Amino acid sequence: MRKLQFLILAALMVCTGVLAAGCTGQGPIGGDRDEHGCLTGAGYSWCEAKGKCLRVWEEPCSGASVIDTFEECVAAGYPVMESYPRQCRVPGGPTFTEVIGGQMTEALCTAARGHWNECSSRCQLDNAGKPGTVCPAMCEALCECGGIAGFGCPAGFTCRMPPNIADALGYCVAEERNITKMTADQALARAVERGCTSVGTPTGTPRYNENTRTWWIDLIPTTPKENCAPACVVNETTGYVEVKWTCISMWS
């Protein structure tokens, strides 16, 4: 009898210990919490209207809308990264990228049944079927169109393909009405404004590429790379600025 009483007492003590720990079989959730106990590290914030913690991109607080665009993220007061394009990040949640008029993105491309290629080449596509053409060995993200698969382009873009080649593969470019003419001085000013020239010092005269409608500004690099030369590339259609390195392979 005493043995049975002892076993019952031991079982009660074990259960009491489990209840004190939560009796769920799970450890406590860690991470930073705000004054309301919301787990901010997981993206939760306090909603006064509903009296609970929630993630605004999953469940809107009363009077607020679900955040699913860059503009809504900015309007909600979340931090904006000064990249190009700019990005807005919901703490613990998704990051939204600003869509600039005339600028191609992977989302736009795939939604229009285009083929997004992170390592494409305008030079190779423009010169398909032209023997003896040498293109720089560098990758360029393009929305490819046409081809045997019949890839498409988003509204406001048209497919540029090499002439006289059946089922040729091309790439999407902004339609003529979106083009803003830009001078060499304006292109240089734009490159400086966007911080592109922090990579090096501009040299020579800016060169204009009619096929891609871009200005190329050669740079003397601050940190040289062997057999490579950088340039600021300014797209006159979108105003987009980026650094491109052209590298020459040395064969022994």
pLDDT at 20: 44
Domain of residue 203, residue span: 184-247
With 0.85 as the threshold, say if the pTM is over it. no
Domain count of the chain?
3
User: For 236, what's the count of Cα atoms within 13 Å in the CB-facing half-sphere?
Assistant: 23
Q: Is residue 14 part of a domain?
A: no
Q: Is residue 151 part of a domain?
A: yes
The verdict on 152 and 197 lying in the same domain is no
Q: Mind listing the pLDDT tens digit for each residue in 59-71?
A: 767 555 567 667 7
Q: Mind listing the pLDDT tens digit for each residue in 144-176?
A: 999 999 999 988 788 999 888 888 999 998 876
| Structural element, H or E, at residue 116 | strand 115-120
Torsion of the alpha carbons at 75, 77, 82 and 86, rounded to the nearest 10: -30
Q: Is residue 10 part of a domain?
A: no
The verdict on 90 and 116 lying in the same domain is no
Q: Which of 67, 97, 127 is the last residue of a domain?
A: 97
Q: Is residue 197 part of a domain?
A: yes
Judged against a pLDDT cut of 90, whether residue 232 lies above it is answered with: yes
**Residue reference for tokens 């046409």:** 146
pLDDT at 215: 92
Q: Is residue 31 part of a domain?
A: no
The verdict on 54 and 76 lying in the same domain is yes
Q: Is residue 4 part of a domain?
A: no
What mean pLDDT comes out for the span 30-38?
79
Q: Which of 178, 196, 216 is the last residue of a domain?
A: 178
Bridge partner residues of 233 (DSSP): 216, 242
Judged against a pLDDT cut of 60, whether residue 19 lies above it is answered with: no
CB 243 within 8 A of CB 196: yes
Q: Is residue 243 part of a domain?
A: yes
What mean pLDDT comes out for the span 106-134?
88
